[in-house]
Amino acid sequence: MKVITQKFNIEKIYELKDRIDPKPQYQRTPVWKIDRKKLLIDSIFRGYDLPKFYLNDISGNAFYDFEVCDGQQRLRTIWEFLEDKFSLGKDIFFNEENIEGKKYSQLDITAKDFFNKFNLSIAIIEDSTQKEIRDLFARLQRGMGLNQAELRRALSTQIGAFVESIVDNHSFFKNCGFQDLRNKYQDYTDHVIAYIVNGFNNDFKGQILKDVYLNISPTEISEIIKDISTVLDDMTKINSYSIGIFKNKWAFVDTFILIYQNRKQGAKVLDKEFVRAFQQFEQQRKKFNRKPESLIEKDSPSDEDKRLYEYITSFTKDGSLKANMRRRNEVFVVQFRHLFK
């Protein structure tokens, strides 16, 4: 691997925009909030140096010449400002003129020229392997708070490439009603892959999920991806009746596992009926979520009250433990068994 550091001004890096892949598989999804974006642009107008950007040279690729190894958030922010997608923050001055609240198109020619000619330090990576790039990415991100899903995304694995394709392209995630913040879609999918591979034999936590990724054999992948797509098709139909019905992780994971189990037994979910039953269950869960013990303090709690108590207590604390995953599944199997034919 060879690294060559160059100076690109903002004008040049914008000209290259269509040739730069800002989101290779190992990268995190866009997560910067508006205040942080405004602060970056403010730093540029103050003439502050920005951290180095790392671009991997992939010029043999049909679609891109470079992929971002480090600096995705900063690069997107610069592009978005140039495209008038947000305005400057407060107390920003250029040449003693107050430019706060302005978008790029509203700046005068002098301010635009300063911004366009601002130099960025760009490290061009050449002759690298995917392993070297992912190792570099992981090293650069240390101390920057990557979550477990983002770390798994940085792994060079065959299953990872397929998961990337599913979360980017399956209709469920396109219309699920909740955002993919910090690789949420990947995290949800990783949990169901862990179940498909190991059942309830292991906890569903960071290192274990990582080991699942690393140990899946190539012969297993096609069947796993087929099963995931089939179940997501069912969940897409359910979600179409109530957009966002699976927005919390355990609602997604527990329902996926239940549908998967029934699919393996040749039974399909009755989607409309499932929506009504699941919504009623969720309403009750939220009602008793703060004080689930009230469900069983009655003289004669019903079986349904007992199930709800079991579900809530295995939902609200250490939900990733295999024992809690199994308990919730047992509740779902009984609660919704009449909804599969």
**Most confident among 17-31, 126-140, 176-190, 323-337 (mean pLDDT):** 323-337
φ, ψ of residue 211 to 5 degrees: the values are: -65, -35
User: pLDDT tier at 138 (50, 70, 90 boundaries)?
Assistant: low
User: pLDDT tier at 199 (50, 70, 90 boundaries)?
Assistant: very high
- Do residue 113 and residue 167 come from a single domain? no
Q: Which of 110, 125, 146 is the last residue of a domain?
A: 146
| For residues 261-286, average pLDDT | 96
Three-class secondary structure of residue 217 per DSSP: coil
The per-residue pLDDT for 180 is: 81
The per-residue pLDDT for 135 is: 65
Is there a domain that residue 151 lies in?
A: no
The per-residue pLDDT for 78 is: 97
| For residues 45-64, average pLDDT | 87
Which candidate, 75, 77, 74, 73, places its Cα nearest to that of 87?
A: 77
- Do residue 133 and residue 161 come from a single domain? no
| For residues 191-210, average pLDDT | 90
Alpha helices in 46-91 (DSSP H): 72-82
- Do residue 142 and residue 161 come from a single domain? no
> Between the CA atoms of 228, 148, 146 and 246, what dihedral angle is there, to the nearest 10 degrees?
50
Range of weakest confidence among 132-146, 198-212, 231-245, 293-307: 132-146
Q: Which of 146, 179, 204 is the last residue of a domain?
A: 146
The per-residue pLDDT for 125 is: 87
Instruction: Please count the helices (runs of H) and the strands (runs of E) in the chain.
Output: 15, 7
Is there a domain that residue 85 lies in?
A: yes
Q: Which of 93, 117, 146 is the last residue of a domain?
A: 146
The per-residue pLDDT for 1 is: 78
- Do residue 335 and residue 193 come from a single domain? yes
The average confidence (pLDDT) of the chain is 88
Torsion-angle region of 199 (φ positive above 0: left; ψ -120 to 50: alpha; else: beta): left
- Do residue 131 and residue 250 come from a single domain? no
Query: How many other C-beta atoms lie within 10 A of the C-beta of residue 261?
Result: 17
pLDDT at 278 exceeding the cut of 70: yes
Distance between CA atoms of residues 110 and 115, nearest Å:
9
User: pLDDT tier at 146 (50, 70, 90 boundaries)?
Assistant: low
- Do residue 11 and residue 133 come from a single domain? yes
Counting the structural domains of the chain, the total is 2
The per-residue pLDDT for 294 is: 93
Distance between CA atoms of residues 285 and 330, nearest Å:
16
| For residues 23-31, average pLDDT | 60
- Do residue 274 and residue 313 come from a single domain? yes
| For residues 162-185, average pLDDT | 87
Structure tokens at 72: 């995705």
- Do residue 140 and residue 284 come from a single domain? no
- Do residue 102 and residue 192 come from a single domain? no
The per-residue pLDDT for 150 is: 65
- In tens, the pLDDT along 209-240 reads 888 888 888 888 989 999 999 999 999 999 99
- Do residue 334 and residue 191 come from a single domain? yes
Distance between CA atoms of residues 37 and 145, nearest Å:
18
- Do residue 66 and residue 127 come from a single domain? yes
| For residues 247-276, average pLDDT | 96
The per-residue pLDDT for 51 is: 87
User: pLDDT tier at 161 (50, 70, 90 boundaries)?
Assistant: confident
Record the pTM: 0.62
Strand blocks (E) in 20-86? 20-21, 53-57, 66-70
Domain span including residue 80: 1-146
Is there a domain that residue 112 lies in?
A: yes
- Do residue 101 and residue 163 come from a single domain? no
Is there a domain that residue 152 lies in?
A: no
Residue type at position 247: K
Higher pLDDT, 174 or 26: 174
